[in-house]
């Protein structure tokens, strides 16, 4: 009975579903290519900035790690878009992993700014500590969500 109602919906729709799926696939392909080009551009820009940053230690190294994690985030989003083609759905695990990488990147950035800045007001220092703590909680929550998601997948199989 569910099949009959589904086929009736398809027949009464304004656009055939196969064309909508085709347009969606083409749009996802364009997005994937765009993300790949952005990732390549970010890589070369990061190398240029790494070479030009003075002093290399510690500013250049911290900037390099920050840029690399940004590129990893772009590539994970690209992988998520590509997996949409193979699985037909967006996978929750991949978005959770992107969130963990982004939160860790922010933790590293805030931690580096705390160590590099010689003079920081008490308010700015407290705010940075709150940011670190909140991001740490976000990482723990996202890792727990990944664990729950993986457990749910295992129990299905």
In this prediction, residue 10 carries a pLDDT of 47
Q: Count CB atoms within 10 A of the CB of residue 96.
A: 20
Contact 73/102 with Cβ under 8 angstroms?
A: yes
**122 and 75 both lie in a single domain:** no
Percent of the chain residues topping a pLDDT of 90:
53
Which residue matches tokens 């929750």? 92
**pLDDT, tens digit (0-9, with 9 covering 90-100), for 42-95:** 999 999 999 999 888 888 888 999 999 999 999 999 999 888 877 777 788 899
Asked if 107 contacts 139 with a C-beta cutoff of 8 angstroms, the reply is: yes
Of 86 and 132, the structure prediction assigns the larger pLDDT to 132
Does residue 133 fall inside a structural domain?
Answer: yes
pTM reported for the whole predicted model: 0.80
pLDDT on residue 69: 94
Q: Which domain holds residue 25?
A: 14-89
* All residues at 6 or more sequence positions from 58 whose CB lies less than 8 Å from its CB, including other chains: 112, 115, 116
**SS3 assignment, position 88:** coil
pLDDT in tens, 13-23: 687 888 888 88
Do 53 and 63 form a contact (C-beta atoms < 8 A)?
A: yes
Domain count, the chain: 2
* Residue 4 within any structural domain of the chain: no
pLDDT score for 54: 87
Q: Is the pLDDT of residue 101 over 60?
A: yes
pLDDT-derived band at 12, boundaries 50, 70, 90 = low
Question: Which of 62, 89, 116 is at the close of a domain?
Answer: 89
Domain assignment of residue 39, yes or no: yes
What are the two backbone dihedrals, phi and then psi, of residue 53, each rounded to the nearest 5 degrees?
Answer: -70, 130
Q: Say yes or no: 42 and 71 in one domain.
A: yes
**Are 69 and 120 in the same domain?**
no
Q: Is residue 27 part of a domain?
A: yes
């Amino acid at each position: 009975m569910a099949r009959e109602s589904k086929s009736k919906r398809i027949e009464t729709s304004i656009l055939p579903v196969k064309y909508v799926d085709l347009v969606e696939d083409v749009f996802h392909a364009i997005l994937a290519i765009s993300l790949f080009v952005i990732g390549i551009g970010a890589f070369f820009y990061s190398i240029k900035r790494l070479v030009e940053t003075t002093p290399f230690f510690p500013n250049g190294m911290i900037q390099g790690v920050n840029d690399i994690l940004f590129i990893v985030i772009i590539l994970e989003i690209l992988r998520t878009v590509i997996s949409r083609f193979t699985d037909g759905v967006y996978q929750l695990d991949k978005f959770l992993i992107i969130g963990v990488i982004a939160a860790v990147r922010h933790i590293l950035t805030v931690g580096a700014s705390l160590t590099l800045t010689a003079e920081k007001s008490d308010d700015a220092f407290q705010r940075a500590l709150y940011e670190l703590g909140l991001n740490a909680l976000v990482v723990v929550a996202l890792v727990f969500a990944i664990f729950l998601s993986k457990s749910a997948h295992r129990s299905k199989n």
